[in-house]
Structures are given as C-alpha cells and as structure tokens.
Structure 1
Amino acid sequence: MCSSFRFAVNAALLERPLVIGLAWGLCQGDLPAALSLCIFYELFWLDGIPAGTHIPPNAAAATLAGLSLMHVFSLTTPAEALCVAGATSVLARLFSGLEGAQRVVENIVFSRYAAARQRQRAPFEPGKLVRRALVNTVVIQGLVFAVALAGLIALFAVALPMVWPYLASSRASWGQLWILGSLGAVLSLRYRPAYAALAGGMGLAVAWRFF
C-alpha cells in the first residue's frame, strides 16, 4: 500500500498551478475563475518540474499571488488576468533563487555539523538539522511571500485605476490567454522544429492581422 501511494501520488504535483487553483476555487466557491487563471500558469510553467538538483521557477508562488490579487481586486476578465500573470511571474524566479540560496546555507551548516560529529566521534543524528531546515524554509519563504504580496497589492491599488479603461475595452478571451501561455509548453519541448513552427505561426498571425 505504501508503495502504491508513493508511485500514485507525486508530491511535486501538489504544487502545480492546476492543483492549487482547484483547491483555491473549492475554498472560495469560484472554481471556473480560479481554474481559468491557473490554466495559463500551468501551461506557461509546464516544464517547471524539480528533478535532481535543478530548481525550476516556483510556479506555486506566482499562482498563489495571482489568485490573491484576482480575489482582492475582484478581477474576472482575461485582460486583467494577463496583467496579474505578468506582475506575479517575477515571484517564480524570486523564490527559486531564494530556495537556491537556502540550499547553499543548509549545505554549509550540514558540512560543519558532519565535521564536528566526526571530530567528536559522536553518532550522526541529522534529524535536528532537517527540522531546523524545514522551519527556516517555512518562516523565511512565508515572510518573503507576505512582503511581496503586500507590495503587489499596493502596486495594483495605484496602477489599476490608470489602466482600467484599457482593460475594460479589451476583447481578449481566455482562449487567447491560454494560447499565449502555451508558449511555455512549446518551449519546454526543447525541439527546434517546434520552435520553427511556433515562429512561423506567429508570423502568419501578424501578417493576417496587418495585411
């Protein structure tokens, strides 16, 4: 049973934007709006899967911040969601960098601990280090997220009235927003012909629009 759970439930999937959006929508009672935004995040950060020592952009931070902004300012349209996604995308890089810095610090702490235990010929008991690292991660990332979200809310409170006329007149649809997000899915293929097809399609779209 334990093995079945291990292979059937991947912990990395719990931080995917669609899973976060599903939980948020069920809690807030507005599942369609939450999933509409999170589909964009899911497509855009499609290849953000932690593997080995690789630290991908933290899509969870961007998703939670985006959902929070949509909720605080009662935003519902695709144009508004695009502004939110653009403003929160920086958090994905910020938190991946923060995690990398924390790993460096924890590696130093572990090396010093291991050297000290070896000199003292004492038993190796890393449980305390693990608990300390988890607590530090929760506290530091929680504080940084709170400060970043507060800054974004303040920014939107000032900037949103200025851009509201443009957003209100926009005819953008959720489908167009998802197509834009799918650029991340295409880039995640790491396949040059796919890039060529994408560039060709974008060129045809621009030509069709202007000619």
Structure 2
Amino acid sequence: MVTLPHTGIQVPDAALRVTTFQELPTPDGVAYTATVGWGRTKVGTIHQEGRGGLPYYLPVAGSTVNQRDLTAFAAASRHGDGQPLTEEDLLEEQITEYEHAAHVAKATRAGRSAVQLRAPLGAGPGLDEVYYTAERFPAAKITTVAQRAALTTQLRKLTIPDGAWWQLWTGQAWEDLTTPSQPGPDRPGPR
C-alpha cells in the first residue's frame, strides 16, 4: 500500500491519480470534472453535476481501468485510520490530493511555502472528524524556527472558524502550526 502525502489515504498503487481538475458554478451548486490517469495514460474522468449527488467515474474508450477495476481499487484502499474507502471517497480524495499537490507545486515554484487552513465540515452525525481545506495561500519561504514562529504568530491573529487550524507543508507532510480554534469570550460558538 502507498500512502498519499496530502490526504493520507492508502492506495494499492500511486499510478492512479487525477491529472486535471475543473470546477463550474451552477445554479444548484458547483459541478466539476477531473481527468484520471494511470501514470501518463488517461483512463477516465470523474464527474459531479453540482446538484448534491455523488461523483462518478467514466472510463474512456479502451481504458485499462474500467468501472469494475476502479471499484476493486477503492475496495483495497483505506483512510489514514485504516477504515475502508467507498468508491466516492476514493474519487473525492484523489481530487483533494491533486488540489493540494498543485498548491504546493505553485508555492514551491515561486520560492514560497504552502500554508492551508483545515476546518470542520460541519456538526452532526457522520461529520465528526471530517475536515476540508477552507483556505490556501503561499507564505514567505519558511526555513528557520524563527520564521516558523513568526508565521504562526501572524496566523493566530486571524479570525478563523471554530475547530479550524493552520498547517504548513514541510516538503514531506502537512504539519500543524496552530491547534484547532475554540470559542472564547470574544469568539462566539457556532449558531
């Protein structure tokens, strides 16, 4: 099993990955499409129509990864905590992996460090421990402990959602710069 660096999911082979991603706002939500590759070969696309449904996979003609192959690949994959992934989880996590990798690559090309804000998706059954990336930006290049401390001080001054925290890409993994925020006297809790 291979652990993907940005999402922490474990997959049988890192060759299966998203290679392009596009979003389109619609009156009902955000639709998206992504290209799926096996190495450098396009094998299919992921679609989400923006109406609250689940994403789905469509293999291209002659694909080496058909629907049954993708279903088996998803069944063999795991979340970072070892729990199995559904096919929809796999598709969404592959898109997230692509987005994070693109953010890191852009920051690195500019000689900067990638920073992201992780926030809870919501409250209620099934949403405990479900987070999303609420914000991303490239910060000045962080190479010393003092630079890291200065960035952390700056980030702590920003207003963020309850339960959110900032992370820095170290070149190997996302490391927490702050701990999840909590409501305080000057920060009301969720409504």
> Same fold judged by TM-score > 0.5?
no
More helix as a share of residues: 1
TM-score (ref. length: structure 1): 0.28
TM-score (ref. length: structure 2): 0.30
Q: Which fold has the larger relative contact order, with Cα–Cα distance below 8 Å and residues 6 or more apart in sequence?
A: 1
More strand as a share of residues: 2
